[in-house]
Amino acid sequence: MKLFHFRGVATLFILLLFLRHLRRADSAPPLFACDGSNPQTKSFAFCQTTLPVHQRVKDLVSRLTLDEKISQLVNTAPAIPRLGVPSYEWWSEALHGVSGYGLGISFKGRISGATSFPQVILSASTFDSHLWYRIGQAIGIEARAVYNEGQAKGMTFWAPNINIYRDPRWGRGHETPGEDPLVAGKYAVAFVRGFQGETFEGNNVNNGHLQASACCKHFTAYDLDNWKGISRLGFDAKVTKQDLADTFQPPFKSCIQEGRASGVMCAYNRVNGIPNCADYDLLTKTARGEWGFHGYITSDCDAVSIIHDNHKYARSPEDAVADVLKAGMDVNCGSYLQNYTKSAIEQKKLPLSQIDRALHNLFSVRMRLGLFNGNPTKQLFGNIGPDQVCTKEHLELALEAARNGIVLLKNSDKLLPLSKSKTSSLAIIGPNADIRNTFYHNGCDFVNCTFAAIEDAVKIAKEADYVVLVMGLDQSQEREDHDRVDLRLPGEQESLIKAVAAAAKKPVVLVLVCGGPVDVSFAKDEGKIGSILWAGYPGEAGGIAVAEIIFGEHNPGGKLPVTWYPQDFVNVPMTDMRMRPDPSSGYPGRTYRFYNGPKVFEFGHGLSYSTYSYNFISSTPNTIHLNHLYTQPTDQGSSSVRYLSVSKIGTNTCETLKFSTHVVVENTGDMAGKHPVLLFVKHERPKNGSAVKQLVGFQSVSLNATERAHVEFVLSPCEHLSVADEDGSMMIEEGYRHLVVEDKEYAINVVL
């Protein structure tokens, strides 16, 4: 029997090796140009790696026929065999892991999947830039591995999504880092640097070469998909200059200037009447001119066709093509440019120079990816293989992100953590629960919960020592092209929760698996619901993370990156883009910065099994003198408050004005923990249009019980103490502000 077993294992081992060999043999090599074994390529200047990229691209574009040029303006670009240029797919996805969604990635080969990190909204709740960088780095490594294995048709990935989570009903809000522009910008910078192969600090260690190409989307003011029949494909977002300046544009500016993203995607919608992909001021003057963007700009899929078909902005398909290329867009996800560019040229609506401009940007990125340097497996990043996909380190990173992102919303009488030794039985109930315990009931067949088996669930709850309800949403409720119309839990979920809680022996634990906020006021105020955990969409290690937190193996420290609104907020039209409240009409404003209505849970809310104290150190300056650093006169507004334009101060002077704020953080509990310290600023006398408060810094801190740490925040008056006026110009006003960390405040006076 033992011999048979040995032979069986040996035979299986040999068979696996044979199958592995077959899969390697069947695996196609990665696609690349300038094959060194092809004598023809040696005569092409675009294959000479010693030449600068712009010179190589110029040579390549000059060799293309008009039809060849046009063929390269769409996401599925065909090969140019006579020049040895392979086909290329621009559309791949990697929001929280390399994805098979899109046309560029195949998992039918030696690599059958990639690490699934938590959805972005949960990673954002860690407020940990270093973690975001490491996630981006891991995804970028796995992307390059898939390419090197011949399972990728391209190395351009349309991530991250850094739109502001303006409205809680938005179906794609969970793809974003939340509602705060500073957080969205910091996330963009960290993720892009890691993904593209730079250091955390942004040092260009690879001389412009890209591990993988990141694309910040959706530019700009895009946060409505399909709400009550109003579609993103025809929506005209009416946005004030003020809101553009201090809410919608800052994440993209950070992504481009600090993150040095190599891609940007223009969004479906119009902004103030102009389709984003046809907006010259947006794409060329702002992104490329003011912010110094060097990369390619893609449309969202079919976003060019809708300029004619839906927006009715262009009179003809040829006009739409001319509009987007003249605006500065480079590649069309779709076939519109392939179909109508030639006729646009023939009708003299489009000069050839605009096509050459677009091709220069497109081929520059492909060259920076090393796809025109010969066999990429023998170049920089060529040693990244399948053994670096789904590694133990990446799984641990996914678990770390889930652990540190999960938010403890409520914990009455310290119900959590549960004691393993004292918990004799546990019931898991809910449509988002897994079967892994003795007592289990799904409660509802599906998340929409049109019918709940309440009696059966109650029966199980009565038998258990403790009950955990796993409820929430899924992609049937919130997804691309589908916004919510309700903020409550779907169907009979609330009735199920109430019935189980009433029947249980002890207060129950409610775990919410969802991306967007839900109105769980009933649970917040119900004594029989002792604890509430928000788990977001926690990725492949999410189940482990939730269990570890419930049983005290990990101390939760995440904080909400979005405001949780009550159900009444659905009375606010989702189409109203205004951030600031309007007292005259009762419009409440949006996000923690401006919303003046009731909240279920606030932005930044999150409990811990420990307690923490915070104190500002007196070395933080209490007066900021700006009057002696420049000679320009100050301005005075209608409110008789003096202010100074940031643009008048200048970049160099702004740099000299930076100052440090020091905060002592102490873990006053009896359990080690990690949590983010959030620093806000608020005006002593806020005027109409000013934020209630504004996040200006955040750092993640790990402390043992009774341990202290000194946290330094470096602030710039030009960035952190300025406000946008109605024209979108950033101004520094005189007067007092208060720096705020939790319950502690520190006053500083700006003197002009």
Is residue 300 among the annotated active site residues?
yes
DSSP symbols for 105-117: B--SSS------P
Inter-residue contact 253 to 185 (CB < 8 Å): yes
Return d(Cα 522, Cα 443) in angstroms, integer.
19
Nearest to 172 by CA among 232, 129, 114: 232
Beta bridge partners of 299: 266
Inter-residue contact 563 to 602 (CB < 8 Å): yes
Beta strands 612-616 and 659-667, pairing class: antiparallel
Among 225, 279, 300, 519, the active-site one is 300
Return d(Cα 591, Cα 613) in angstroms, integer.
26
In 58-181, beta strands by DSSP E? 76-77, 88-89, 92-93, 99-102, 156-157
What is the H or E stretch that residue 456 is in? helix 454-463
DSSP 3-state of 333 = coil
Return d(Cα 639, Cα 725) in angstroms, integer.
13
Return d(Cα 530, Cα 505) in angstroms, integer.
12
Q: Which 8-state DSSP code applies to residue 332? A: B
CB-side neighbour CA atoms (13 Å) of 377 = 12
Helices (H), 379-443: 392-405
φ, ψ of residue 555 in degrees (nearest 5):
-95, 115
Nearest to 580 by CA among 184, 244, 269: 244
b/e string for 129-148 if b means 16 or more Cβ within 10 A?
Answer: bebbbbbbbbbbbbbbbbbb
Return d(Cα 187, Cα 181) in angstroms, integer.
10
CB-side neighbour CA atoms (13 Å) of 271 = 25
DSSP 3-state of 707 = coil
Return d(Cα 321, Cα 277) in angstroms, integer.
10
Q: Which residues are catalytic?
A: 300
